[in-house]
Amino acid sequence: MVDIVGINNTAQQANRIAERSTSKSPGTRGKETSSAPSSSSGDRIEISAGAKEAQVVKKLVAAAQAEPDVRPEAVNAAKERLENGGYDGIEVSRQTAKKILGIN
């Protein structure tokens, strides 16, 4: 069930805030008023560490998506090594198992 009264109250509050911000006195028109100290050199924006990290992650994801899913040179090298017996033996199996399990 939707609380229409709550929605209406929230909408009315938003309208009152919007009206206040548009009916500023002529001396403050176009200026934001806040309790934060203002800088004499102009506006300033601070980007949070989380936002910076999100930006880095976004760039890394884009770079990863630009790379091909399969590297043909790696596949060809593995096929050749397999055909030449390079993957035979218990030691190769142990190394593979360690890599899968994340054991050094």
pLDDT for the residue 12: 62
Q: How many domains does the chain have?
A: 1
pLDDT for the residue 63: 92
**CA 87 – CA 20 distance, rounded (Å):** 75
Q: Is residue 75 part of a domain?
A: yes
Q: Is residue 62 part of a domain?
A: yes
Q: Give tens-digit pLDDT for 26-79.
A: 554 444 444 455 556 789 999 999 999 999 999 999 998 898 888 899 899 989
- Contacts with 98 (C-beta within 8 Å, 6 or more apart), sequence order: 104
Between residues 20 and 58, the one the model is more confident about: 58
Q: Which amino acid is at 77?
A: A
Domain that holds residue 72: 49-104
Q: Is residue 22 part of a domain?
A: no
Q: Is residue 11 part of a domain?
A: no
Q: Is residue 27 part of a domain?
A: no
Q: Is residue 63 part of a domain?
A: yes
Name the band, by pLDDT with cuts 50, 70 and 90, for residue 89: confident
Q: Where are the alpha helices (DSSP H) in the chain?
A: 4-22, 49-66, 72-83, 90-101
